[in-house]
Structure 1
Amino acid sequence: MKAFHLLPTLSVLSLSLFALTACDTQKPTETANQTEQTAKTSNEQNNNNKATTNYAGKTLTVYSYDSFTSDWGPAPKLKESFEANCNCTIEFVPFEDGVTMFNRVRLEGDNPKADVIIGLDNNLLNSAQASGLFAKTNIDLSHLQLPTKWTNQTFIPYDYGQYAFIYNKEAFAKNGKTPPKSLKELVNNQNYSVIYQDPRTSTVGRGLLAWVNEVFGDQSEAAWKALSKHTVTVGKGWSETYEAFKNGESDLVLSYNTSPLYHKIHEDTDKYVAASFDEGHIVQIELAAQLKASDTPALAQDFIAFLLTPEAQKTIATSNIMLPVINTKIEPNFDAFVAEKTLAVPTPDDKTAKAQIDVWQKAVSK
């Protein structure tokens, strides 16, 4: 997901620009309502991940998406906390979204400027694995709590959530609207104005791509055509699209079912709601990875391991507004949160993703 206190609105791709090319299951998961003893055990395990080695004079370069690295995102607090223990320097480099960031890493190839990348996800997992650019770690994954079993030692989860369409219940009531109860209803009902993200540049957009394909199958092209008739804009990344929605430019925006937690915790309002869909929701697991070509591999692995400590998990959850991947207390709203039904945890390869994007682009370009 993406941290809130949103960025100023950036330019968005209108439907007239769609023809242009760009670069290129488990049961519902309940979060930390487990016993105190389990939480204590998890905390003890994760405290072992704190950096204890002195890396004097070393600099770790970390690529991530812009809302993660922003002043209000997790990066500043993570940097301060880790640097206090490692005697090193952490430098974050922001990108508009995870897909754009991954494309940069692929272009840099065997001479990357980054040591660590934060912001890959399960939709990019197979493509990232196939690139051969990332190094396997020996980080302990036994304490992870996710909607699916995780054994990959190269790509390390640091948070997760489910994609959802967010609406303003006060605006809906004022306009006499009721929220859609399924993805099919959202796609086919032209009374709903919608904003979502470009799957060519955004991991969130890739999530919708997977969602449409899971629900509509070989009818996906027709679904995209139907949705395009009441799509206001398609943005390059999450920040600009969520800001546009908050400015009243659409009825619904593609985001995460955890998004309302931000407004509840930080703005003391419950007017923003995640629509619950009968078909179930697509899971996003966000991932960190070490570049093989890093000249500070031990520091890189220590930093990724640090992301799984209770301290870092709380920072990430409350700043990035996503669910923790370990059993640890966050705050009452997070601790009481229950996820929606899981439809899928997609991990498409490059060929599948390209085919799905081609179908989307063909449909919305007409």
Structure 2
Amino acid sequence: MGMDDVINKLDILSEDSQYDLACACSSKNPKEHRRRGLDGRWLYPVPLTRGGYGIMLKTLLTNTCSSDCRYCPLRQDGNTARRCTLSPDEIARAFLEYDRRLHLLGLFLSSGIIGNADRTMERLTDTAAILREKYRYRGYIHLKIIPGASPAAIRRSMQLATAVSLNIETPGAEHFAKLSQFKNYDRDIIAPLKLMAAETARGAEFARVKCTTQFIVGASDENDREIVKYMDGIYNRLKFERVYFSAYQGGLGHPDIPGESRFTLSPHDRLTREHRLYQVDFLLRKYNFAAGEIVYAENGNLDLGHDPKEHWAIAHPAFFPVKINRGDREALLRVPGLGPVSVNRIISQRRQRRIGSLSDLGLRGKLAAKARPFLDFT
């Protein structure tokens, strides 16, 4: 196949990789958002150890799939018109050509399921092996673990990759069974996730490899409380690097899907729900909140009108106001509108002089207005 044909197929496969977001697209920082290259391919952010972000190419090996995931337009009985596949060598050569022109930081490689999990994993790891061994590529490679992959296939991916991920999809087997009959939740999802955790634990052979996972939010009939409970376990028991969320958008999947009837949300509200889960993720990872402290509506979902920290503050009036000149770091982090950077600035500045207002810190606008009612400046 000529390079032009390879590039044309890569355009299609990169476009279809959008259905597996796996990045913090709900962040307010534009540098953390996925974006399209000039030729239409998806480029994703990668955090740099020295600070800031670079970009990586994200694509599939194939958009043909044996699975039946009801939320996915690439499922076996889906209506995707342009099915295509590239070989491991074609993907490797196309990526290196793209890297030569754009100086990418790496490759995020996923795939539809080609027959079975290990057959697909072999093609994914063959691609990584060609890059590592034939072309001596030493950059970032993120490989998707296919549900049901064998322990040997998972370990092989970890030999070659910088990071690996496997979508947990739903919080529990009951919700998962409403989305797929091809896959078994405990065998194909939970068992591989536990193996990934064990193989990358501190002191283990692949401790350098980062593990992530993702929920498909709103395709099945789970509520946010269930998602957060599982998220807490992923961080505290499995010790994964990140949890991501992808809001299911109506009309992409099978018309008979639980989320279509249970969640009567607009497309905007579906994305707001996703964003609220990312905010909870930050509260757990950066603000020292416990999962049991998160406040929900009666239906078990997060409030779409208030961010989760503000909702907690409203529900705990006795905790406030926090004294800005004497409150400890943990208390200040509970104040709506204040993040770790602002709190560090407060602690640093009050060592030098008393803080009389948020403007003393250079904090203005909506975040300052949100924080002010919860602070005591005496």
Shorter-chain-normalised TM-score: which range? under 0.3
**Structure ranking higher in strand proportion:** 1
Structure with the greater alpha carbon radius of gyration = 2
How high is the TM-score relative to the length of structure 1? 0.26
